[in-house]
Amino acid sequence: MATKFNAFIFKAELGETKLVVWRRFKASGNMTISYFMGVIKCLFRMYDGHGSILERTKINSKGRRYNKTFATRSHDPGLNPEEHILQKEVQALIGEDKKKAFFTLYYDQSWVEVTLEAVLDEEMSEDDAVVLDGQGYGLVDGYDTDKVVREFAAKKGEDFDALKRELGSDFDFKACSVEEENERLETEDYNYWMF
């Protein structure tokens, strides 16, 4: 019988932007894969109602990486053939080889690369996730993130005035408040983020 671990530490990095945006977070090993996908999307502010795909990255005997689709999530129930997989625990996603656990979550034009960093023997509730560290804001809903950063640096551009009203004129895209991230994780509706 496989060893059951209570918690994992992951590092997730946003791959869509030139900005360095990442989160290190702890998650329960009993969390469902569907909920895990929702946590990742919440951490990077992936707000639009697009479906998402989670791939497991494997390394073959020659050291080459390749991705294999593990689960898809869509608002259309007919497009969720892996529903039984989505209800499995995160531990099933990681498998036996804890040293080579890499994943990629694709969402619209964005993606997040997730790496397992540590396995912990500590108690966590089933739906618990906690941000430990991070850098950068995440996606800006409805906008090209790199374009937004350029407009803020130049203090002008077609979307600058609207974004300045929404985010504030002194907004820092490189900052990440762990306290605010954890507050969002506690208050967000995961029924929304799971898609």
* CATH number of the domain to which 177 belongs: 3.10.290.30
Specify whether 102 is located in the same domain as 112: yes
Specify whether 89 is located in the same domain as 15: yes
SS3 category, 56: strand
Bridge partners (DSSP) of residue 112 are 14, 105
Specify whether 101 is located in the same domain as 158: no
Question: For 108-134, how does the pLDDT look when each residue is reduced to its tens digit (9 = 90+)?
Answer: 778 898 988 988 888 888 778 999 999
Specify whether 146 is located in the same domain as 110: no
SS3 category, 162: helix
**Greatest mean pLDDT among 9-13, 82-86, 108-112, 150-154:** 9-13
What pLDDT sits at residue 162? 87
**Greatest mean pLDDT among 6-15, 72-81, 102-111:** 6-15
Q: Work out the angle between the directed axes of helices 160-167 and 145-154 (0-180°, nearest 10).
A: 90
- With beta carbons less than 8 A apart as the criterion, state whether 193 and 105 touch: no
Beta strands in 37-192 (DSSP E): 52-59, 65-73, 102-107, 110-120, 129-135
Which percentage of the chain shows pLDDT scores above 70? 73
Specify whether 92 is located in the same domain as 157: no
What pLDDT sits at residue 52? 75
Indicate the number of domains in the chain: 2
Cα–Cα distance measured from residue 91 to residue 101, given in angstroms and rounded to the nearest whole number: 11
Specify whether 94 is located in the same domain as 163: no
What is the arithmetic mean of pLDDT over 162-176? Answer: 85
N residues, the chain? 195
Specify whether 145 is located in the same domain as 113: no
Instruction: Say which range, 4-13, 14-23, 122-131, 182-191, has the weakest mean pLDDT.
Output: 182-191
State which residues form the domain around 92: 7-138+173-193
Averaged pLDDT score across all residues of the chain: 78
